[in-house]
Amino acid sequence: MKPLPTYALPLSLAIALGGAAASMVGLLDRNLYALERASLAAQATGQDIVTLCIVVPLLIAASFGAAKGSVRARLALGGLLAYFVYTYFQYTALTVYNGLFLLYVLVYSGALILLIVLIGSIELGNLRNYVPVMPFRRALGIFLTVAGVALGLLWMSIIVPPLIAGARPVILEDQVSQSLVVQSMDLGLLIPAAVIGGVSLLRNRPVGYLLAALVLTKIVALGTAIIAMIIVMTARGVPVSEAQIILFTTVDGLGIYFAVRFFLAIHPPGTGE
């Protein structure tokens, strides 16, 4: 692993601070999401809870661990940064414009820059040496591939039928934004990363280990946020698709299982981990 630049730690902590501030305002200011549809307002509240209480502390811990040279922490940091890019870009594009717009931009852009720097510091050729024993590699590869394909099929089932009929997707009725922001990011970024990572792991390619670390961490963080969204939506009487509940809770549970096993399997030579 190449050393991270000196600005990596302060930038990562600034991203954590920005995410914490945005989440706290979202939870304390009832007017922030007042113009949103009930469904999206409930989802934003659930995500703010998880970001503030779980993801921000994990990002801070991973930031200090990565600064100390921990490979586990560096790989986890990459997945958490991907979560911040994904989440706060959506806040800029999906939610109604509010006073936190520039904060959202700063958080996702800072996270994107640091994620690129972090990926560039990882020497793919040596990455398999950090995971000397991984008997569940094939199972993890299958999980990532199947999860990516299943999510893709879910979104395509929402998009394709109305497209063929010349109609608008029903999901747009639940949001002020008239674009499928979540679906476009999943179909364009998350799903390809999961499928390529899964197939690469099955072939024991180094890039598979990198993508597995990033996607698993993001699955756990985002999956937990989605479960919180479902709980808030249910509490507020907002209907939730049973298919989505089953899919996301299953993927999150399996993601946690594989993430724990994956990160415990990392034993870089000479680092004492």
Residues 43-67: pLDDT tens digits? 999 999 999 999 999 999 999 999 9
In this structure, how many other beta carbons lie within 10 angstroms of the beta carbon of residue 169?
A: 15
Residue 1 domain-assigned? no
Alpha helix ranges (H) inside 166-236: 181-185, 191-202, 206-235
Structural domain contains residue 272: no
pLDDT at res. 269: 61
- For residue 188, give its domain range: 8-264
Q: State both tokens at 72.
A: 């586990």
Distance CA 31, CA 23 (A): 14
Structural domain contains residue 198? yes
Pairwise pLDDT comparison (267 vs 204), residue with the higher score: 204
**CA 50/CA 84 separation, integer angstroms:** 12
pTM, whole model, 2 decimals?
0.92
Instruction: Report the number of distinct structural domains present in the chain.
Output: 1
Residues 135 and 222: their CA atoms lie apart, in Å, by 26
In a domain, 96, yes or no: yes
pLDDT in tens, 106-116: 999 999 999 99
Residue 135 lies in a domain: yes
Going by pLDDT thresholds of 50, 70 and 90, the confidence category of residue 32 is very high
